[in-house]
Amino acid sequence: MPLTDETVVAVVGAGAMGVGIAQVAAQAGHEVHLVDAAEGAAAAAREKLAATLTRLVDKGKLTSDESAGILERVIIGPAADGDLRELPPVGLVIEAVVEKLAVKHEIFGTLDDEQDESTVLATNTSSLDIGAIAADLAHPERVIGLHFFNPPPLMKLVEVVRTTQSAPEILRDAQALMESWGKTPVLCTSTPGFIVNRVARPFYGESQRLLEAEVADAATLDFALRELGGFRMGPFELTDLIGQDVNFAVGNSVWHQTDRDPRYEPVAVQRELVEAGRLGRKTGHGYFEYAEGGQPVGV
């Protein structure tokens, strides 16, 4: 079944990325089923989406009718605990759960068993081998990467990632669908970190090494790279936005997949932040401090 404006979408994982992807799909007119394994998480994400939409209406970027329509198209569940066997038939699943191969592999196994063989199964993984996520499935040809960037409603780039088995017509359809969602797709092959996360590893890692060597503090390093290097965000504020846990998992994944190439070795300072629960904006503390709502304090 080709991907069209009418395709019913499921988003698995209602965290930072999942809720943003659900918003983008619903805004493009799709019915979206939002699923999360943590009880109440999908409903909480929908509440968060409602608040975001209200802000967009207040700013004049959406009408209240458009906002109501988007929210109405985002359906929670079906099961509060994210049981994928209860998901109705959909045309496209976008998985955005924790960056762990075993978890994603199990989810794709269930979807492969339960959904029609024409259903396209996409992962939002930042770094994992999509061929490994699709390993042992009956229909690995319908598995692709759709890698959105944070925050999905604002970031235009989407990496459309192919494995050696992905069907060319599905990749073509997926690129067309992303364009119809107002995104700018780039096609690439599944290799560690794809394009952006692979190139970004040294951006984060070298900046963290400079911090550890006390060359300058995080705000100064961010300032220099943002203002003088031309980046939209510096590495410390950006990893606080991404989530230190997510960024650390991605860094580890790229490092392991490149036979522990020292260029990609995660730096101690990031491990320490994760162990201390300083995950960035989502916990209110990371390299910087954040007020409720995620605004930086004193930076």
The answer to whether the CB of 280 falls within 8 A of the CB of 286 is yes
CA dist 160 and 130 (Å) reads 11
Question: Judged by CB under 6 A, does residue 107 bind ligand NAI?
Answer: yes
Contact residues for 245 (Cβ-Cβ < 8 A; gap 6+): 274, 279
Options 47-55, 61-69, 120-128, 262-270: segment touching ligand NAI (CB under 6 A): 120-128
Query: Strand (E) positions, 91-200?
Result: 92-95, 120-123, 143-148, 157-162, 184-189
Which helix (H) or strand (E) segment holds residue 20: the answer is: helix 16-27
Three-state DSSP class for 236? Answer: helix
Q: Is 237 helix (H, G, I), strand (E, B) or coil?
A: helix
For ligand NAI, the binding residue among 23, 125, 163, 175 (CB under 6 A) is: 125
**In angstroms, what CA-CA distances link 138 with 135, 172, 173?**
9, 22, 21
Q: What six digits make up the tokens of 213?
A: 């060597």
Distance (Å, whole) CA 152 – CA 110:
26
Among 3, 8, 14, 225, contact with ligand NAI (rule: CB under 6 A) = 14
Examine residue 8 and tell whether it contacts ligand NAI (CB under 6 A).
no
- The site map against ligand NAI for 145-184 (x = CB under 6 A) is ---xxx----------------------------------
31, 99, 124, 147: which one is catalytic? 147
Q: Of 66 and 106, which has the nearer Cβ to ligand NAI? A: 106
Token duo for residue 22? 């659900």
Q: Which one of 159, 190, 207, 247 is the catalytic residue?
A: 159
Catalytic residue among 127, 166, 197, 253: 197
Catalytic residue flag (residue 197) = yes
Q: Which of residues 238-297 bind ligand NAI (CB under 6 A)?
A: 242-243, 246, 250
82 three-class SS: coil
Residue carrying structure tokens 């699943």: 93
Q: Is 207 one of the annotated active-site residues of the chain? A: no
Q: Is 147 a catalytic residue?
A: yes
Q: What are phi and psi of 159, to 5 degrees?
A: -80, 120
Stretch that binds ligand NAI, among 1-9, 72-80, 90-98, 224-232 (CB under 6 A): 90-98
Q: Does 199 bind ligand NAI (CB under 6 A)?
A: no
Q: To the nearest whole angstrom, how small is the minimum distance from the Cβ of residue 2 to ligand NAI? A: 26
Nearest approach in angstroms of CB 232 to ligand NAI is 14
CB of 148 to ligand NAI, least distance (A): 6
Residues that bind ligand NAI (CB under 6 A): 12-18, 35-38, 41, 82, 96-99, 103, 107, 124-126, 148-150, 242-243, 246, 250
Catalytic residues: 126, 147, 159, 197
